[in-house]
Each structure stands twice: as C-alpha cells, then as structure tokens.
Structure 1
Amino acid sequence: MRGPARLLLGAGAALLAARRLRARPYDLSGKVVLITGGSRGLGLALARELTGRGARVALLARDAAELDRAVQDVRARGGQAIRVVADVTDAASLERAVQATVAHYGQLDVVVSNAGIIQAGPLTDMTEADFEHIMQVNGFAALRVTRAALPHLKRAGGRVLIVSSVAAKAAIPHLGPYSVSKFASYGLGQALRAELAPHGVTVTTVLPALMRTGSARQVTVRGQFEKEYAVFATLDNVPLLSLDAPRAARQIVGALVRGDSEAMIGGPAHLLRWASALAPGLTADVMALIQRTLPDSTGRPDARRGAQAETPLTRGNPIKQAAERDLNQL
C-alpha cells in the first residue's frame, strides 16, 4: 500500500498546487480594509499601498491627533480613509470600531492586524508584566479584532492579514517578550487560516525582518537605555539589513492578494527562516554569540521610550530621520 498511498498523496499535492496557480488574485478595488496600528509606521505605509490599489481604509489607533494626520496623508494621495479611535487591548472598543467602519462604508472586507509594540533589553531586566502586556497587544489583539469583524468577513468572503515577524521563526536576543508574542501571533494566524477556510475567509500571516518605518522611537528599552536603543535604532536603519517601508508594504499586500498562508518579507527574513529550519541548533548557537555582543544587564526594572534614549549617533542618522518624518512618527 505504500506505493499507491504515496501516489495518492503526490496527486493530491499536485491538485492543490494547480488550484493555487489557477486562483485569481484578490481584487482590492472598492474593498474596505480596517487597519489596526494604522496611524503611523508600517500601518500608514500599508494604508497608502492598499488605497493605491483601490481599497478604502479605516485607520485604527488610540491617538486621535496621529490618526487625523494619517487620514489627511492618505486623502492627499487620492485615497479614501477614515479614523477610528480604539484600543486593541479592549474587546468592546474593537467591537465599536468595527461597527463604526461598517456604518460609514456599509461593508467590511479585510482586517489587517498590524498594531504591535516592541520591548528591547536583556531578559533579566524584563518583568513578567512586560510579557503580559506585549501578549495583549501583539498576540490577543489580532484574535479580538478578527472575532469582532468575523460576521462581516464571512458575508464578504473576506480576508485577514496578521503582521507577525521573523522573530516568530527564531527568537532574537534582547527581544525576548517580543519574540514570544510573535511566535503566538504566527500560531494564531495558522489556526485561524484552518478554522476560517470553510467559511470562505482567507488568512495570511506575514513575517517581516527589520523595516525602516521610523518605529524605533516608540520602542520601550530596558537595561542600558542609550546603548540598547543605539543598537536597535542603528540596525533598524541599515539599508542592506532592513527593508524600506513602501517596498515592505508592497510585498505584504502582495501576499494578501495572493492569499498566501505565510510570507517572509525581506531577504534577511528568508535567510533566518531557512537557517532555523535546516540548522536549528546552529542558529541557536549563533544567537547566543550575538547575545554576548549586546549591552549587559543592569538588574533594574527601569524603562524608557526610545525617543527618550536618543544620542547624537541615533539622532543624526539621516535614514532614520527620513523614515520618522515620512511615516508620522514625530
């Protein structure tokens, strides 16, 4: 039976591959997209890309002033956008955001779970509360907004896009809570894809590497604040190591349109994915070596925002400055 079984499995795989090749790309024209974390950074870059492809967007975040600037930015480029003030850690707030989006546009076709936070520093300087907070934002928020929007997504045969990270494939030193939360978001994306497929809803999880979105200013740093921030903000803005935001947005939206199960975004993401898959032990050893080069723990629970840990080195980085200005980070 081994021969026939293998033949059947091979035929099944070929049929699935052929079906994917024949699948028509998802047409974004006229679709309504709700983007969490849509007021700045990658969320704003995604809003520009989506509206450039004919979608209409609702930008969701907590800061009304930031949202107003983002909405003006999208409208100035010819796109349709509204603001929705909400907190992704509050299920009731997300329910109201979904209702407000449908009330304005009359429909909801796509949810983009982009909202996220980053905490940088030695694991020994992180608290249990850090892990709990980042899981609420990076992990559970995607589940909450998907559940809130699900009745509309089912009617529309819609889509869900979850922005995870390459840190979901290999934990990154000094990004412990972040890596844990992104492993969770990746698992959530895979679970939702299987569970929602029978309802006609397609779920795509994207795993970007470093991107030049200007978001370093928003990072929470622990330990040796200025050194930690200098490492993060510098690596985040190296052209060969990080991807510029518009290009990242194009690749991410491309994965959504194709209906990919998962998509690595950026060359370093592909490299780390294959390294962790083919040589997990070696990859872990390399991460341990990288850890030795990073700033030591202070043993104190103090924390600062990246914007409060700027130095002449980070403040004078022209690539970083350009991303901050362009993507509403200031």
Structure 2
Amino acid sequence: MRISKRLVLGAAVAAIAARRVFSSPYNLTGKSVLITGGSRGLGLALAAEFLKRGARVTLMARTGADLERAAQQLDAGDRVHTVIGDVTRQDNLERALEQVKHKSGGLDVLVNNAGLIQSGPLDNMTESDFRKIMEVNAFAPLILSRLALPELRRRSGRVLLVASVGGKVAVPHLAPYSVSKFAVTGLGQALRAEFAQHGVGVTTVCPTVMRTGSPRQAQVKGQYQKEYALFATVDNSPLISLDADVAARRMVDALIRGDAEAMIGGSAVILKYAQALAPQLTADLLALGTRFLPAATQSDQAIQGKAAETPLTRHNPIKREAERELNELDGNQDSPSP
C-alpha cells in the first residue's frame, strides 16, 4: 500500500511538473515551423497565422506549382520556404526535415495537417479506401513526429496534430475519414504522454467543418453530385462552419497554451459532449439522420469533388471565396472546373 501511494504521489507530482512546463505561453517569434499539406486550405491558413506570430514556415505538399502560388500569396520573403514531398513516403519526410534544418537552422514546431477525406455511403467504401486514408491521416503523422523528435527535443519544440470532430463522433458517409481521425486523437494522447519526458509538447485539435475550399479535393463515392452537394453545402454553411482563418487562429492559440486537446468550433464542442453524456441518444440520432442521406450505388469508383460540381455548388459565393483565398483552384483560376 505504501509503495502504491508513493507511486500515485510521484505520478501526480510528475504530471504537475509537466503541466507547468507546457502551460507557459509558447513564444513563436523566430521559431521554425514545418506544415504538411501547407500549400492550400487549412494548411495555408495555418501558415499565415504562424507568420503573424513571428514564426518562419516551411510548407510541404506534393505539387510544386501549388507551393509556389502559396508562397507568393503569403508574401513573407525569406520567412517562407517550400519542400515538395509525399507524406506517405518516409524518404520524402526525411528529406523535408533535412531541408528545414538546412534552410531554417532547425525545427521548433511540427504541424501534421496533410490529410485525405472521402465522402460516400459505407456500402461504396472498400478496404483499400480505409487503408489509403489511414496511411495519410494517421501513419504519416506518426512517422513524421517520430522522425522529428530528436530535433524537437533539442529545441524543446511542439507538435500540432490536426484531427477532427469526426475523431470524436463518427460522421455518417465519412466512415474512412472518421476511423482515421479517431486514430489521430489516440495518437495525439500517446505522443503527448511519451514526448513529455523529452520536453516536447503535443496538442491535438478537433475542428468542426471549416470554410477552407477543400471539398473540391475530396474523393466522392455513390451518387456523386448529391454527395458532393451535401458535403460542400454543409462545409460552407455560416451556421455551423468556421472561417479558415478563425479556425487557424484558435488552433495556434491551443498550441501556444500547451493544450492537450482542443475542440475548435461550437458545433464540435456540442457533439463531443453529446457523445460523452448521451452516447446512445447520439448514436440513434446519427442512425436516423443517415436514412435521409443519398443511397449507395452499384459502383465503388471515386471521383474528385471538383468533377461533381453542379450549378448549386459552383455558384455558391461563400465556397468560391474560400477556394480563391486558400489556393484551391487549379492554376489559381477565377472559377472552379466544371
């Protein structure tokens, strides 16, 4: 009993000490930040927010043209660097870290933002869909965070994991995405506990839907136009979605505070507590709501959201503005592809 009490007391003291380390506001001035998926959407909004706080940013994405436009849009001179790479390839991740150290002198903050999203009925999702999205959304942050740990430990750095409210409550017609984001929230808890001994703080953020212009890049299955119209409309609804810059500011605030986890957006908070306090009712309501969503089709083929545009989505002014502001239009064109 005495040993158990000592162990409990020791754990409590260690927890308090760790909290004190990470509760002091983290000064971003002059810090080096690597953002995966940084060329557009939320990643671009996060880059702008870090720059406002005095940091230097390196954007990682797969497409050079997107990165070039993003750097021009940020217009921050030598405080912005870019690196082309695929987060599912470890050699690309290693190269990105080496370039950050070479160009910025080291790495202080790692932002695991890159991600995929697939929309459609579960009946149209394949095992391959689940494996692919897990590679990008869950395994890539795990591998990159571990690769970056030696440098982050040397500089008492921070890790930001972008999960989702879909990592707290499984959203109908987003099954692979929700599974991957549940994995990310668990990963965030594990990394925070393990990295604390190295003086590295880990913050996981779970945002609600955001106006990032990203539905164009989503993979859509089932009744393409209906699925995309629903997804893009909800994503750009002022009643429940957040402006990308507001979401980015709140995420960076959570990182600076040293939060273990932060729900971003009122609807995200509501869903989290609904699931925690009334899991049966929440499950029943989600099951009921699924009955009103577009039915599955015979084909499991996926298309990109931008190929499922209709007049309803193409001329949505809120959506179009987000696409233009956050580099979601191919070639920075004035209107989405038909």
Q: TM-score range by the shorter chain?
A: over 0.9
Q: C-alpha displacement at 1:80, in angstroms?
A: 1.2
Q: C-alpha displacement at 1:236, in angstroms?
A: 0.3
Cα distance change of structure 1 residues 283 and 20 upon mapping to structure 2, 3 Å threshold: farther
Q: Matches of 1:133 and 1:23 in 2, distance apart?
A: 36
SS in 2 for 1:29: coil
The answer on whether the counterparts of 1:248 and 1:266 sit within 8 Å (CA) in structure 2 is yes
1:326 and 2:325 matched: yes
The residue aligned with 2:68 is 68
- Over residues 154-185 of structure 1, what are the superposed CA-to-partner deviations in whole Å (9 max), with x where a residue is unaligned? 00000000000001111000000000000001
Map 1:1-330 to 2 at 5 A: 16=16, 20=20, 23-76=23-76, 80-330=79-329
**Amino acid of the structure 2 residue aligned with 1:137:** V
Q: Matches of 2:21 and 2:244 in 1, distance apart?
A: 28
Tell me the C-alpha RMSD between the 2 structures.
Answer: 2.1
**Amino acid of the structure 2 residue aligned with 1:149:** A
SS in 2 for 1:293: coil
**Amino acid of the structure 1 residue aligned with 2:178:** S
Decide which moves more: 186-195 or 19-28. Answer: 19-28
The answer on whether the counterparts of 1:114 and 1:163 sit within 8 Å (CA) in structure 2 is yes
The answer on whether the counterparts of 2:33 and 2:110 sit within 8 Å (CA) in structure 1 is yes
**Amino acid of the structure 1 residue aligned with 2:157:** G
**Amino acid of the structure 2 residue aligned with 1:114:** N
Unaligned runs of 5+ residues in structure 1 are none
Cα distance change of structure 1 residues 227 and 286 upon mapping to structure 2, 3 Å threshold: same
Q: C-alpha displacement at 1:125, in angstroms?
A: 0.3
Instruction: Report the TM-score when normalising by structure 2.
Output: 0.92
The answer on whether the counterparts of 2:18 and 2:196 sit within 8 Å (CA) in structure 1 is no
Q: Matches of 2:136 and 2:320 in 1, distance apart?
A: 26
Q: State the 4+ residue runs in structure 1 displaced beyond 4 angstroms.
A: 17-22
SS in 2 for 1:294: coil
- Over residues 65-99 of structure 1, what are the superposed CA-to-partner deviations in whole Å (9 max), with x where a residue is unaligned? 000011111225x6710011010000111000000
Q: Matches of 1:71 and 1:211 in 2, distance apart?
A: 22
Q: Matches of 1:302 and 1:92 in 2, distance apart?
A: 30
Cα distance change of structure 1 residues 18 and 123 upon mapping to structure 2, 3 Å threshold: closer
- Over residues 35-57 of structure 1, what are the superposed CA-to-partner deviations in whole Å (9 max), with x where a residue is unaligned? 00000000000000001000000
Instruction: Report the TM-score when normalising by structure 1.
Output: 0.94
Cα distance change of structure 1 residues 131 and 18 upon mapping to structure 2, 3 Å threshold: closer
**Amino acid of the structure 1 residue aligned with 2:28:** L
Cα distance change of structure 1 residues 79 and 52 upon mapping to structure 2, 3 Å threshold: farther
Q: Matches of 2:120 and 2:137 in 1, distance apart?
A: 18
Q: Matches of 1:17 and 1:104 in 2, distance apart?
A: 34
Cα distance change of structure 1 residues 246 and 79 upon mapping to structure 2, 3 Å threshold: farther
Q: Matches of 1:290 and 1:306 in 2, distance apart?
A: 22
Q: Matches of 2:103 and 2:25 in 1, distance apart?
A: 26
SS in 1 for 2:42: helix
Q: C-alpha displacement at 1:22, in angstroms?
A: 9.3
**Amino acid of the structure 2 residue aligned with 1:204:** T
SS in 2 for 1:26: coil
Cα distance change of structure 1 residues 318 and 79 upon mapping to structure 2, 3 Å threshold: farther
- Over residues 252-299 of structure 1, what are the superposed CA-to-partner deviations in whole Å (9 max), with x where a residue is unaligned? 000000010000000000000000000111111111011011000002
**Amino acid of the structure 2 residue aligned with 1:70:** A
